Every structure is written in structure tokens, then in C-alpha cells.
């Protein structure tokens, strides 16, 4: 701060330097794009632990290869991940969202789950309880809980969240549609008219409402128009260094054309793409046919495969490259590619087996060999 002279003399004042320390940026932020049981769709979400993934996206799920990949990513030291959930609705006239019909006058109030899927009905079995223990007449409290209230004297299930003092009047600052959209992790107001009043009580989800969709297609993963959906939702992410696209289903493969588009996108974002060989590749010499070409000749495509060890020797160290392949079109500029070593496993196994073995790599579910592909010239 400035010195206040009190008598004649020499005063020294230190002025802060205009030089600022250069802050480093992350070089290991991994983006995952795939199916999840619940959570926001086509919205990049940063997480730092698997517990956070369980809370937001529902944890391990038999229809989600991404859930297992993330489980192993964090078990093997992953620190930060960007999650993009993609959702392909079933081609049948079923509601994608779980729904509740809260009794009211002159009609019911339609409430839907905050994200598509059957998660709110099965396995969460969410019930909504309405009460009028509010600060003023005409307001309501809505409690989200697992299961109905048991018969007395058993206590009610602990609430997952309580939204207090909501109004059914659109002009009110506590209008239910606005408050649920801003504050609730579980529910939103659905379509239809807003009733004049609600009836106190507990409401179960509508039977068979909500569906988990189908395995994602190319149109969902890499849409023809980059409209910030699929992998292009990562346009909203500040930075990611590695892109992982688990297959649409266990035993399935990402389409070869999709790998090529993903490689081009990673080149534009200066990121690396982790490529899984096709599920049919059982030997190193079969792998090159399953890997996309480099997006442009000046980008080097490096593929390293690792032979699968025996079941009795499945560890994360000691593997050596069994084959190396490069893009036949040489780069006009000197380039190099970083190599990330990820343990290989033997044949794909069940989700529970993988979950209980922290030594298995993030993409153990994807096939017998692993490929690492970089489209970033150094």
C-alpha cells in the first residue's frame, strides 16, 4: 500500500510486478461418450470420482459399457473425466421419461423425471409426497423419496430431496415449473395444464413409464450436422485430452466410419483418441484392419497392441508391444506420438468380475487387445 510520508526523507515503496505465473493446464482429462442409466443428455459433465458418477449417472449398469470403463478408469488412478451421456429412444410409442400424476383439481399435475430412462421407476422406485405444511396458503411441499410410506408406526423413508413452498400460479416467483427446473435433481413439470390445487398424499410412478432407450447408433454418436450432440457436445467442454468411446453394447463395436469422424474431431480439438479394435480381432495381425485411417496425411496414426496375458498373470505391468503400425502416408513434418500404457486383459468378462478386479484396464470390456491412436502432431 502507498507510504504516508510523515517527515522529510527517503521512502521506498514496492510495486507489484506485472509478470504473472503461467498456470499449467491439465494433460490427462479424459472424455467418455456413451450410454448411462440416468443423468443429463448431451451435456458435458466434469466428475472427479466414481462416487460422483454413481450419483449423477447411476453407476454400473448392464447396458452401459461406459459405466464399467469409468469404474476402471478411476480404480486405476484417473483423476478427472468429462462425461457425455447419449440417449437413443426406442422406436416404439413409449414415454422416455418416468411420469407421476399428482392428484389435483380440476385435474392431475403431470410430473416427469429429470432425465430419460426407467431409473426413477426401476430400481429407484421414487414416490412423490405432497403436503401443505407451508408458510402460506396456496403453497405446497413436494418430497421425493424411495418407496411409499409404510404403515404406522414405521417411519417414513428418508427424503432424497424436499422442494418447499412451490406455487401453482405462473406469476408467482415460486412457480412450480421454474422451481423444479432450478432446484430439483430428480423431477420436472411435464406437459399439460397446471391445476388450481393439489391433493396431499403420496403418488407412485406410472407403471411402465420411462424406457432406457436402445444401443446408440451412428446418427446419435456422430450426427451428420455437428449440433452439439453426441461427441460434438464436447464443444461445450473447455478442454479434454483423450477421447474414449466405449462400444454401444457388450460384445459390439463402434462403426468404422464413426472412428474416422471421431479422429477428425480429436485432430481439430488437439486431443488423442483411444481406439478399440473390433471385437472380432483375436490376434495382433488382425488389428490394423479395424483401425481408422488418419484424418489427414499430416497426422500420424500410431497403433500399439498388447498380447493378452493369461488369467493367472493379469497385472498392469510387464507388457511389451507385440506389433506397431503407422499410417502408410508419411507426415511431411516431423511428428511424434505419446504412448499411454494401459493394461491388457484376457477375454472379456462379466461386469461383476470386472468390477471386483481393480487391475483390469478401463476398456477391458471392449476386446482382447487395446489400441492407442494419436492424431495430434507434435
Q: Which of the two residues, 345 and 77, has the higher pLDDT score?
A: 77
The answer, yes or no, to whether residue 324 has pLDDT greater than 80, is no
pLDDT band at 271 (very low <50, low <70, confident <90, very high): confident
CA-nearest of 59, 49, 35, 167 to 109 is 167
The answer, yes or no, to whether residue 118 has pLDDT greater than 90, is yes
Confidence at residue 373, expressed as pLDDT on a 0 to 100 scale: 32
Using DSSP, state whether 223 is helix, strand or coil: coil
Element spanning 54, H or E: helix 50-57
Contact between residue 140 and residue 162 where contact means Cβ atoms under 8 Å apart: no
Confidence at residue 292, expressed as pLDDT on a 0 to 100 scale: 58
Q: Work out the average pLDDT over 195-212.
A: 94
Q: Which of the two residues, 197 and 313, has the higher pLDDT score?
A: 197
The answer, yes or no, to whether residue 196 has pLDDT greater than 90, is yes
Q: Which of the two residues, 302 and 93, has the higher pLDDT score?
A: 93
Confidence at residue 182, expressed as pLDDT on a 0 to 100 scale: 95
CA-nearest of 340, 341, 361 to 349 is 361
Give the integer Cα–Cα distance in Å for 355 and 314: 14
The answer, yes or no, to whether residue 137 has pLDDT greater than 90, is yes
pLDDT band at 270 (very low <50, low <70, confident <90, very high): confident
Instruction: Report CA dihedral (28, 59, 55, 269) to the nearest 10 degrees.
Output: 30
Highest mean pLDDT, choosing among 11-20, 131-140, 340-349: 131-140
Q: Which of the two residues, 33 and 339, has the higher pLDDT score?
A: 33
Q: Work out the average pLDDT over 313-327.
A: 33
Confidence at residue 34, expressed as pLDDT on a 0 to 100 scale: 96
Phi-psi region of 269 (alpha: psi -120 to 50; beta: other; left: phi over 0): alpha
Give the integer Cα–Cα distance in Å for 273 and 67: 19
CA-nearest of 22, 2, 27 to 241 is 27
Q: Work out the average pLDDT over 277-298.
A: 61
Helices 50-57 and 65-75 pack at an angle, to 10 degrees, of 160
The answer, yes or no, to whether residue 164 has pLDDT greater than 90, is yes
Amino acid at each position: 500500500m502507498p507510504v504516508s510520508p510523515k517527515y522529510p526523507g527517503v521512502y521506498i515503496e514496492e510495486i507489484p510486478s506485472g509478470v504473472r505465473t503461467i498456470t499449467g493446464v491439465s494433460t490427462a482429462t479424459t472424455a467418455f461418450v456413451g450410454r448411462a442409466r440416468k443423468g443429463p443428455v448431451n451435456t458435458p459433465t466434469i466428475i472427479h470420482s466414481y462416487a460422483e458418477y454413481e450419483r449423477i449417472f447411476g453407476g454400473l449398469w448392464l447396458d452401459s459399457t461406459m459405466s464399467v470403463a469409468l469404474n476402471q478408469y478411476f480404480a486405476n488412478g484417473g483423476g478427472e473425466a468429462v462425461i457425455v451421456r447419449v440417449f437413443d429412444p426406442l422406436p416404439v410409442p413409449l414415454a422416455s421419461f418416468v411420469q407421476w400424476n399428482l392428484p389435483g383439481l380440476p385435474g392431475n399435475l403431470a410430473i416427469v423425471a429429470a432425465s430419460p430412462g426407467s431409473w426413477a421407476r426401476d430400481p429407484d422406485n421414487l414416490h412423490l409426497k405432497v403436503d401443505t405444511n407451508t408458510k402460506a396458503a396456496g403453497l405446497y411441499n413436494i418430497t421425493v423419496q424411495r418407496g411409499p410410506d409404510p404403515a404406522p408406526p414405521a417411519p417414513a423413508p428418508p427424503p432424497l430431496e424436499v422442494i418447499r413452498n412451490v406455487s401453482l400460479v405462473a406469476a408467482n416467483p415460486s412457480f412450480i415449473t421454474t422451481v423444479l427446473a432450478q432446484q430439483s435433481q430428480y423431477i420436472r413439470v411435464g406437459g399439460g395444464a397446471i391445476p388450481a390445487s393439489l391433493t396431499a398424499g403420496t403418488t407412485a410412478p406410472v407403471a411402465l413409464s420411462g424406457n432406457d432407450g436402445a444401443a446408440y447408433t451412428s446418427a446419435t454418436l456422430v450426427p451428420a450436422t455437428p449440433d452439439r450432440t453426441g461427441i460434438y457436445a464436447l464443444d461445450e467442454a473447455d478442454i479434454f485430452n483423450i477421447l474414449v468411446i466405449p462400444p454401444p453394447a457388450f460384445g459390439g463395436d463402434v462403426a468404422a466410419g464413426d472412428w474416422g469422424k471421431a479422429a477428425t474431431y480429436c485432430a481439430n480439438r488437439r486431443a488423442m483418441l483411444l481406439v478399440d479394435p473390433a471385437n472380432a480381432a483375436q490376434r495382433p495381425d488382425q488389428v490394423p484392419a479395424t483401425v481408422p485411417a488418419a484424418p489427414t496425411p499430416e497426422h500420424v496414426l500410431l497403433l500399439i497392441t498388447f498380447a493378452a496375458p493369461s488369467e493367472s498373470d493379469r497385472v498392469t505391468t510387464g507388457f511389451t508391444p507385440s506389433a506397431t503400425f503407422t499410417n502408410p502416408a508419411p507426415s511431411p513434418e516431423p511428428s511424434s506420438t505419446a504412448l499411454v500404457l494401459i493394461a491388457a486383459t484376457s477375454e472379456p468378462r462379466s461386469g461383476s468380475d470386472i468390477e471386483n478386479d481393480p487391475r483390469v484396464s478401463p476398456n477391458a470390456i471392449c476386446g482382447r487387445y487395446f489400441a492407442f491412436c494419436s492424431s495430434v502432431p507434435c
